Chains A and B, each alone.
Chain A
């Protein structure tokens, strides 16, 4: 059973009378325990696909199953978590409040919540910003908080939409190491989108290239590109192709 089964997903949007396909007949199986990366140019449909997996968007055709359960079943969200730079928390809440609220939402009892939050705060170096308001955090601190939140419910599946966008190289490196570690130690399945090809090369077991809402190619990160070709060169070649 795949961790995420994406079958024949199509999605059209209509904005000011114009209709267009954001996704067209997309099918992917993401295996349990793998790091799978979705790459493709801006506007190719990566975030849209993630929104469908999260149940925030209903596709026109096709379905998504999470560990065998349709996403319409709201309990499938309990096994997942999600990070993206667009995600925010209320501006007056401190990092500590946010983690506590989310912990309560996930149904963690007081002791578990405290233990996990302490561990994650240490892991992501959030100790000295714990009592700062969300709108006072830097981009990197916000992202680290988002990552801490995402691990709070110990998800089996983690969706990361451009997790290192706009971060310093040193923080990005730490976050990549962390992604790798989580995947290795807990067998967490990870779906990653990124515009940094080095990141994808380093992390992903498999890659899918998406363009204009269609999956152009899927394969092992080392196999889809030609010999000696970097993933960046592969990306440019695919974008320029017909």
Chain B
């Protein structure tokens, strides 16, 4: 692992970030519009149930954050594939770990930047003060979400490397399934019995549960947060061997060369 290579890749992502216009749209436009729509919805909902409006806005904050952090990593890789520079980078001595770690770090910066913007918007425009009032819990939940999203992006990278570039669409689709199963706007027991078991091991379930409880009861169960941490960290620990395995297999069956 060499720092100069990781920094060089991050520098490349940085330059690309400001020049590919749809990236700015993807990363800033959607999260901001999302907060505006659901923020207005929460204002409207105040006439009926304040909690429902809050739940929708705050869940969408987490969702946007997870989305930016996961897709940025995977799209950076896909752009290397689309532009034909994938092979170029790998023959320069960059190792597979350096390659993904640089992207994970850069995406985290971007995701944290956008999260700050939309949280501040939610606070000042829609007067959503809950997160500021429970700042430490918020930080814990954000860390879990970030770790889980990193793990997902490593898993998705592994799938694209295993199956080839026509599976690039996984970069912007899989997350929705994970969110669906992590029960954002509903409790786990709303789901069919068998799906509930899957739901319990989903990386975002405990984040969403803590947030809902905080909004509806004002109470934070630290064991749920701890469980969330453990599951997210486990995902991350398991994602790297999968990535290594996928990479080595792609080197054997020729998919890696065909990625270019």
Contact = CB atoms under 8 A, between A and B. Distances in A.
Interface of A: 13-14, 51, 54-58, 74-75, 77-78, 80-82, 86-93, 97, 101-102, 104-107, 134
B110 to A, nearest CB: 17
B15 interface: yes
Interface stretch (B43-51, B123-131, B230-238, B246-254): B246-254
A88 B91 CA distance: 13
Nearest to A84: B87
A24 B16 CA distance: 42
Nearest to A107: B4
A163 to B, nearest CB: 15
A74 B89 CA distance: 13
29 contacts: A13-B253, A14-B253, A51-B257, A56-B87, A56-B90, A56-B256, A57-B252, A57-B256, A58-B251, A75-B93, A77-B91, A80-B91, A82-B91, A86-B84, A87-B85, A88-B85, A89-B88, A90-B12, A90-B80, A90-B85, A91-B83, A93-B12, A97-B15, A104-B5, A104-B8, A105-B9, A107-B2, A107-B4, A134-B83
Contacts of A89: 83-85, 88
Contacts of B91: 54-56, 77, 80-82
The CB with the most chain B CB atoms within 10 A, among A58, A81, A82, is that of: A58
Contacts of B20: 92
Given A58-B252, A87-B88, A106 B79 contact: no
B93 A74 contact: yes
Contact of B260 (A80, A81, A86): A86
B257 A106 contact: no
Interface string B1-28: 0101101110110011001100000000
Given A56-B90, A93-B15, A106-B93, A87 B8 contact: no
Minimum-distance CB pairs A-B, first 6 = A88-B84, A104-B8, A92-B19, A77-B93, A105-B8, A90-B83
A87 B92 contact: no
A90 B2 CA distance: 22
Contacts of A75: 93
B108 to A, nearest CB: 20
Nearest to A94: B15
Contacts, number: 89
Nearest to B254: A13
Interface string B74-110: 0000011001110111111111000000000000000
B84 A78 contact: no
Contacts of A90: 12, 16, 79-80, 83, 85
B87 A87 contact: yes
Nearest to A159: B91
Contacts of A78: 93
Contact of B95 (A74, A81, A93): A74
Contacts of B253: 13-14
A224 B58 CA distance: 75
A153 to B, nearest CB: 8
A90 B86 CA distance: 9
A101 B90 contact: no
A105 to B, nearest CB: 4
Contact of A106 (B9, B16, B80, B92): B92
A57 B16 contact: no
Contacts of B88: 87-89
A53 to B, nearest CB: 10
Nearest to B9: A105
A82 B88 CA distance: 8
A57 B5 CA distance: 22
Contacts of B19: 92-93
Contacts of B85: 87-90
A88 B80 CA distance: 9
Nearest to B83: A90
Contacts of B92: 77, 102, 105-106
A101 B83 contact: no
B169 to A, nearest CB: 21
B251 A104 contact: no
A76 to B, nearest CB: 9
Nearest to B79: A90
A105 B84 contact: no
Nearest to A11: B254
Contact of B16 (A51, A80, A82, A93): A93
Contacts of A97: 12, 15
